[in-house]
Amino acid sequence: MKFLENPPRFLFFTGKGGVGKTSVACATAVELAGRGRRVLLVSTDPASNIGQVFGLTIGNTVTPIAGVDGLWALEIDPEHAAAAYRERIIAPVRGLLPDSEGANIAEGLSGSCTTEIASFDEFTELLTDESLVLEYDHIVFDTAPTGHTIRLLQLPGSWTEFLDAGKGDPSCLGPLSGLEKHKAVYAAAVAALADPHRTRLILVARAQTSSLVEIERTAVELGRVGIAGGYLVINGVLPDIAGTEPIATAVRQRESAAIAAIPLGVAGLPLDVLDLKAGNMMGVSALATLFDVDAAALADHGSVEVSDEPLGRFVDELEQPGHGLVLCMGKGGVGKTTVAAAIAVALAERGHNVHLTTTDPAAHLAGTLHGSLPGLRVSRIDPEQAVREYREHVMATKGKNLDSDERAALAEDLLSPCTDEIAVFRQFSQAVHEARREFVVVDTAPTGHTLLLLDATGSYHREISRQIGDSMPFVTPLMHLQDPALTKVILVTLAETTPVLEAEELQHDLQRAGIEPWGWVVNNSIAAAHPGTPFLQARARSEVEQIEKVRGLTERVAIIPLLAEEPIGLDRLAALTAVAPQPV
């Protein structure tokens, strides 16, 4: 593997969710430890599952990995980090300020913005604490899905610029002294990440056009914060041992074409291609095989029977009220965009007015649809445009009667990076409102960003409740999301351990917010494609346990088989929901 040649102290794995980034990072840690190095494996993903990969509980404490000498692991817990961060901010002023003011500071530090800053504090310590760094020969970072990672890395520059301006929004930052002392640490962390002698960036993708385009975007965005170059790993490529049945041939041709057309922005990077394995990458022995190039022949254990669960059944139920909000959620890379587009196309073809929109910064709805349809309107909540419109709105309303100094102070407050989430949430709220008269289908961002959006929804709900109290009735966007008659949340996953685990965690998070998911979609199932060769049958068998787990988590399941042709274009999207429900 090129990316494992003469590795520096820090190895930084990033990429869109669902590409196998965690598996590659974990296998790298096992490989380096096998070379006699002292290795610390760190996850910065809010939905980390490296503990599940190794079959043990890790959490926010450096934990030795049983069976691998010289390997330790750590999962940065965002909630734990946020609690510790709040305490550092509040402790110096506790007892010095009135209780009511202290409560206001605590409330201001309860949002998602604070959680991101707190997580980054722990992340930067691992890069800059010299005594900690020298304790290990290598620190391997398994990062959050791409969008969250970029936002994390932009925070040092964003906060430095914001602090240099002299003022901040207390509802986001708390006392500025709490951040001021971290400016030098943040700058040192970015310097370490930008130094190729200390840090190696490994961009992980799948052999899919959308995945490779996304990884090019990641490379460009990382370059903007000074992290350039790196290595490209294309993971999970179907090997020749998969056979020559039509589905295998079609997938292999599709992957070969995608690899041959690697985007220019990453085409010059050193490239490694990893074969798809017959089993899941769970446990040390499985991880040790990930970089093997020779696949052993597999015995024929027969086909796996998985009952058909067509997506068309979902559309039949969703259509009945004549309007409503459909939220497709899940980890990035599981096919949320495809599922959202297929449902929207089906509803439009049945004569309904449908608004298909996305909150995903990396969305590619236009590329999925490849055409237009009467009754179907497509839009994207563009974060930059949303922020610009939000700032203009606040200046035109709240700032209308302010003097020049007060307007300047307000404009400065609106430079807070937290403004981004508020602005996107404002446009999301408009989409929720539309669902009372037509269908609104939302392709959400990967899980981490979706939870930030829902956190903003909950914060807004709490603020309105506090301001209005019992004096008059009100309805907030969160109340609409909690209304099962209006809102249907569909969790999209793959029949693999990590995506199912993360979707399950998302379901728990939604339930804590009073939102009960309506159904699940298992996408790209090999088992549902009824393969005939030993390799694909082995992959199918590995899916059965996860499919059964999904069935135990929800009343409604739809299963979309792995297709010979990608579901791009109106006709192929319509075909996903065209299967008539089978009699019970």
Place of tokens 């100094």: 405
- Identity of residue 192: A
The residue range of the domain holding 448 is: 312-382+435-576
490 and 356 in a common domain: yes
Beta bridge partners of 74: 42
Number of other CB atoms surrounding residue 301 within 10 Å? 10
What is the rounded average pLDDT for all residues in the chain?
Answer: 80
545 and 467 in a common domain: yes
325 and 232 in a common domain: no
Q: For 301-327, what is each residue's pLDDT tens digit? A: 666 777 778 999 999 999 999 999 999
Q: For 389-405, what is each residue's pLDDT tens digit? A: 878 888 888 888 888 88
318 and 265 in a common domain: no
Angle at CA of residue 245, ends 239 and 250, nearest 5°:
70
Place of tokens 């002392």: 181
Number of other CB atoms surrounding residue 364 within 10 Å? 18
Which pLDDT value is given to residue 168? 42
522 and 454 in a common domain: yes
Residue 466 resides in a domain: yes
As to burial, measured by CB atoms within 10 angstroms (0-12 exposed, 13-18 middle, 19+ buried), residue 312 is: middle
Sheet holding 63-64, edge to edge: 63-64, 71-75, 39-43, 138-142, 10-14, 199-206, 231-237, 271-275
Residue 415 resides in a domain: no
Which pLDDT value is given to residue 303? 65
442 and 544 in a common domain: yes
* Mean pLDDT calculated for residue range 281-300: 77
Which pLDDT value is given to residue 192? 84
99 and 178 in a common domain: yes
Sequence-separated (6 or more) residues with CB below 8 Å from residue 119:
44, 46, 76, 78, 81, 82, 152
322 and 185 in a common domain: no
Which pLDDT value is given to residue 274? 94
Predicted TM-score of the model (pTM) = 0.76
- Indicate left, alpha or beta for 162 from its phi (over 0: left) and psi (-120 to 50: alpha): alpha
Domain tally, the chain: 2
Sequence-separated (6 or more) residues with CB below 8 Å from residue 187:
156, 160
Residue 70 resides in a domain: yes
Which of 253, 277, 301 represents a domain boundary (last residue)?
A: 277
247 and 134 in a common domain: yes
Residues with a catalytic annotation lie at 18, 20-23, 45, 498
Asked if residues 189 and 225 have their Cβ atoms less than 8 Å apart, the reply is: no
Asked if residues 152 and 217 have their Cβ atoms less than 8 Å apart, the reply is: no
Residue 259 resides in a domain: yes
Q: Which CATH number belongs to the domain containing residue 468 in this structure?
A: 3.40.50.300
Sequence-separated (6 or more) residues with CB below 8 Å from residue 117:
85, 155, 159, 179
Lowest mean pLDDT among 70-74, 128-132, 292-296, 357-361: 292-296
Number of other CB atoms surrounding residue 38 within 10 Å? 15
Which of 223, 252, 277 represents a domain boundary (last residue)?
A: 277
Residue 6 resides in a domain: yes
- Torsional sign, CA 74, 87, 113, 502: positive
Lowest mean pLDDT among 74-88, 103-117, 156-170, 180-194: 156-170
7 and 151 in a common domain: yes
Q: Which helix (H) or strand (E) holds 427?
A: helix 419-434
Percent of the chain with pLDDT over 70: 76
337 and 196 in a common domain: no
Residue 198 resides in a domain: yes
Residue 230, pLDDT > 70, answer yes
Q: How many CA atoms lie within 13 A of 546 on its CB side?
A: 28
Q: For 187-222, what is each residue's pLDDT tens digit? A: 777 788 888 899 899 999 999 887 898 889 888 888
255 and 318 in a common domain: no
Q: How many residues does the chain have?
A: 584
Task: In whole angstroms, give the CA distance from residue 428 to residue 359.
Answer: 8
